[in-house]
Chain A
Amino acid sequence: MRKTALNAVHELARRDPRVVFLGSDLGPGTLDAMKAEMPERFFMEGVAEANLIGMAAGLALEGFIPYVNTIATFLTRRCFDQLVIDACLHRAPIRLIANGGGFVYAPLGPTHQAIEDLAILRAVPNMTIVAPADADEMTRLMPLTLDHPGPLYIRLGKGHDPIVSDPEVPFEIGRGLTLRRGDAALLMSTGITLGRVLDAADRLAERGLPCEVLHLPTVKPLDEDAVLEAASRVKLAITVEEHSVIGGLGGAVAEVLAESGAPCRLRRVGIPDVFAERYGSQAQLLDHFGITADAIAEAVLGAHGQ
């Protein structure tokens, strides 16, 4: 997903002289091809994220479209004031490419795990937040980032995530994507949890419980109409995310459902309000916290008395 995103930046830069790339202290070889082809538009600025965002904002206010890439935790927590003021208050068209959403950096511990990025960014006016499910969805997203108004946060998965998105469903920033039809429950995903949701939906369909799958790669602005329309036809809605249950997709959907008076019950599957106390792999931590197809399926089965 990351390689796809960065290669897309290079492609966009070839097409559009406004595109510039800024990294902090990324791995050797990052975007070497772009650096060789257009060195004046390639910036590697060191372990100084606050300055990185301010610089990007200055370039954006002067008409450039900066794509900024580093690890999600450093791109959000470390320079949050710069995101709020320099990017969002100015509506500067900065594109933030955030490596390692959720538990991607599981073995590196909580300092590197972005479990609250969606929540903190969602609270800031003018920010758009997108978490694609896989590299193919990233490929569909990237051309749309060029002229999107205001700042945009793009949350990346681990890389080599299974391809689960559907090329037949048109991608649009701000739109929910319906990938399965059914009324046994409404299953909502963002980012790579789409794979787990589809797995659960397929198993449930085999047991005679077809579920509606609404994939929400755009967490903000949330496609409220799609959520409410789908929720009006079910008794149970479940959000699934690789993020704290506070303030992310589950939080956003809860706000919408509660205020609409939708009659369905909501269950949020995500990271409980704790820091991970174990290492291992992303998959192990997701399993550990019950962000699994099994847990989703069991919740639906339980609601149907099975």
Chain B
Amino acid sequence: MNPPPSSSPTSGSPPVELQSPPLDRRSLDLRRRIVETLDAGGRGHLGAAFSLVEILRVVYDDVLRFRAEEPEWPGRDRFILSKGHGCLALYVLLAEKGFFPDRELGRFCHFDGLLGGHPEVVVPGVEASTGSLGHGLSIGVGFALAARLRGEDWRTYVVLGDGESQEGSVWEAAMAAAKHRLESLTVLVDANQLQSYGPTREVLDLEPMAEKWRAFGFHTVELDGHDVAALRRALQARPESDRPTALICRTVKGKGIARCELEPTWHHKSRLSADTVRELLEALA
């Protein structure tokens, strides 16, 4: 018998086609703040922040219980951005909600600034320092166990990237979450289809992603991660009583500006010219 043909580097899963509704004013404004913050810092992960905007705005607008003026309020829900390089989207939302003054965005990555290129716990509203991928879900499992041990009803939300999910530790943590039946834990995968080098399906394919999370014991829902109404419905649905939840949010890296979408060179940018910044802001007008 002949061996099966070896797989070519581009033989992974097909790209996910989305029929997302057009971005509304709030989504465009948040992206403009991200561009301005990136420009202030002289660098930043643009694509990874843009794919996250709708996920994070729904989490902070409609789901998470928090008190910005009392960031350590014990009854708050815990939120971990495990894909820490998406921090620009988190920072603009935390500033908007009042966790720290807006002016901190203008000092992004500055020597004396509060906000660095990955989130750290010194920033009000940040529960875990992330940036090295594959850490946040384990910490979230610890949080959810702590809530259970103390009989408290707050929930834990962890946002992972799809590229990040190539880390074995993500699946170690997934097994632990299922073993402990952590119904208070929700994982959101920002499945934006692209990692630093290129398409995730080519570098190290993660599909079928939803089947993987189901097999690992999660109540799993797939949805359009740029559809605000769909995100709201999924996040506000009553969680299953005996297992954690995984929301596979299908997104587009760089979503919102055509030249950045699914374009690897927009994963991280530094020293954008004034003209480029103006063009990006105009594209989001």
Contact = CB atoms under 8 A, between A and B. Distances in A.
Interface of A: 20, 40-41, 43, 45-46, 48, 50-64, 81-82, 85-86, 89-90
Interface in B121-169: 121, 127-129, 131-132, 134-135, 137-147, 149-150, 168-169
B64 interface: no
B141 A54 contact: yes
Given A48-B176, A61-B127, A90-B129, A54 B145 contact: no
A48 B178 CA distance: 14
A85 B142 contact: no
Q: 4 tightest CB-CB pairs across the interface, nearest first?
A: A58-B142, A54-B138, A62-B146, A51-B172
26 contacts: A20-B149, A41-B149, A45-B176, A48-B175, A50-B134, A51-B141, A54-B142, A54-B169, A55-B139, A55-B145, A55-B176, A57-B128, A57-B138, A57-B139, A57-B142, A59-B146, A61-B128, A61-B142, A62-B142, A62-B143, A62-B146, A85-B132, A86-B128, A86-B139, A90-B121, A90-B128
B135 A86 contact: yes
Given A51-B169, A54-B141, A56-B142, 5 more contacts: A48-B176, A58-B138, A61-B127, A61-B139, A81-B135
Nearest to A64: B146
B173 interface: yes
A85 B175 contact: no
B132 A51 contact: no
B66 to A, nearest CB: 16
A83 to B, nearest CB: 11
Contacts of B139: 54-55, 57-58, 61, 86
Contacts of A56: 142
A50 B138 CA distance: 8
Contacts of B135: 54, 81-82, 85-86
B129 A51 contact: no
Nearest to A53: B138
B111 to A, nearest CB: 19
B75 to A, nearest CB: 13
A43 B147 CA distance: 15
Contacts of A50: 134, 138, 168-169, 172
A53 to B, nearest CB: 7
> Which of A20, A48, A51, A54 counts the most chain B CB atoms within 10 A?
A51
Contacts of B168: 50
A285 B228 CA distance: 64
Interface of B: 120-121, 127-129, 131-132, 134-135, 137-147, 149-150, 168-169, 172-173, 175-176, 179
A89 B141 contact: no
Contacts of A53: 138
B189 to A, nearest CB: 17
B169 A82 contact: yes
Contacts of B176: 45-46, 48, 51, 55
A53 B135 CA distance: 9
Contacts of B146: 58-59, 62-64
Contacts of B131: 85
A40 B132 contact: no
A58 B140 contact: yes
B128 A51 contact: no
Contacts of B138: 50-55, 57-58, 82, 86
A89 B129 contact: yes
A50 B136 CA distance: 11
Contacts of A40: 149
A281 B38 CA distance: 59
A61 B144 CA distance: 12
Nearest to A81: B132
A181 to B, nearest CB: 47
Contact of A48 (B127, B142, B172): B172
A57 B132 CA distance: 15
B272 to A, nearest CB: 29
A64 B149 contact: yes
Contacts of B129: 85, 89-90
B141 A58 contact: yes
Nearest to B176: A51
Contacts of A57: 128, 138-139, 142
Nearest to B136: A54
A87 to B, nearest CB: 11
Contacts of B137: 54
Contacts of B120: 89
A23 to B, nearest CB: 13
Nearest to A40: B149
A66 to B, nearest CB: 8
A49 to B, nearest CB: 8
A46 B145 contact: no
Contacts of B143: 58-59, 61-62
A40 B144 CA distance: 13
Contacts of A63: 146
Nearest to B146: A62
B27 to A, nearest CB: 31
Contacts of A89: 120, 129
A57 to B, nearest CB: 6
Contacts of B142: 54-62
A272 to B, nearest CB: 33
Contacts of B127: 61
Nearest to A49: B172
